[in-house]
């Protein structure tokens, strides 16, 4: 299980890092080409799509590390039974949200038909598929990090090093 979780983490890290590097390369390339008088017409559209992909793959990685911005002050200062209730309530909210978004994201892919980006022949159903994929990965990441988060926030014992 731990090995699977680590493979999952490395996969998210690799994809996110690749997207970040690609994004930086495209922006720099666009500046160079424009300086040479040959503006890249696809640059801003593709860069925007890459930003969205980086957002959702990175968000899954952040869920694995439990790094999404939040306020733990009240939970950590409460007695154990309250901490348990608050923790599981919060988990439930996260699963509810990401699963609804994953379903809705998958459902809307069919409406794009054969439409593609304006400047490149990439189908919109491919670019927008990051929403359902990203939220499913988010749910898996949340599940994989539940135990360490429970130990840290509810039991308030030392955090395992798996994802931090």
Tell me if 148 contacts another protein by CB under 8 A.
Answer: no
User: Which residue from 92, 123, 98 is spatially nearest to 110, judged by alpha carbons?
Assistant: 123
**Smallest gap from residue 109 Cβ to another protein (A):** 9
Q: Which of 4, 36, 41, 69 binds another protein (CB under 8 A)?
A: 69
60 contacts 94 by C-beta, under 8 angstroms: no
CA distances from 85 to 29, 89, 95 (A): 51, 6, 15
Angle between helices 2-35 and 43-64 (to 10 degrees): 160
Provide the CB-side half-sphere exposure for 54 (13 A, CA). Answer: 14
Number of residues that bind another protein (CB under 8 A): 55
For another protein, the closer of residues 71 and 161 by Cβ is 71
Token pair for 127: 């670019």
Residue 9: CB atoms within 10 A of its CB come to 19
Instruction: Convert residues 97-136 into a mask of x (bound to another protein by CB under 8 A) and - (unbound).
Output: xx-xx-xxx-xx------------------xx-xx-----
For another protein, the closer of residues 5 and 130 by Cβ is 130
**Where does this chain bind another protein (CB under 8 A)?**
13, 16-17, 20, 23-24, 27-28, 30-31, 44, 47-49, 51-52, 54-59, 61-62, 65, 67-75, 86-87, 89-90, 93-94, 96-98, 100-101, 103-105, 107-108, 127-128, 130-131, 153
């Amino acid at each position: 299980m731990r090995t699977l979780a680590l493979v999952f983490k490395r996969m998210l890290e690799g994809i996110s890092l690749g997207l970040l590097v690609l994004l930086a390369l495209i922006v720099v390339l666009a500046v160079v080409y424009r300086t040479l008088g040959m503006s890249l017409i696809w640059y801003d559209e593709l860069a925007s799509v890459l930003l969205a992909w980086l957002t959702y793959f990175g968000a899954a990685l952040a869920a694995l590390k439990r790094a999404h911005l939040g306020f733990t002050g009240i939970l950590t200062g409460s007695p154990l039974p309250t901490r348990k209730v608050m923790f599981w309530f919060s988990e439930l909210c996260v699963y509810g949200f990401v699963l609804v978004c994953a379903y809705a994201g998958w459902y809307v892919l069919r409406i794009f038909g054969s439409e593609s980006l304006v400047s490149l022949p990439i189908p919109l159903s491919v670019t927008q598929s990051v929403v359902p994929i990203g939220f499913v990965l988010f749910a898996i990441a949340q599940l994989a990090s539940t135990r360490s988060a429970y130990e840290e926030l509810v039991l308030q014992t030392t955090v395992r090093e798996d994802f931090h």
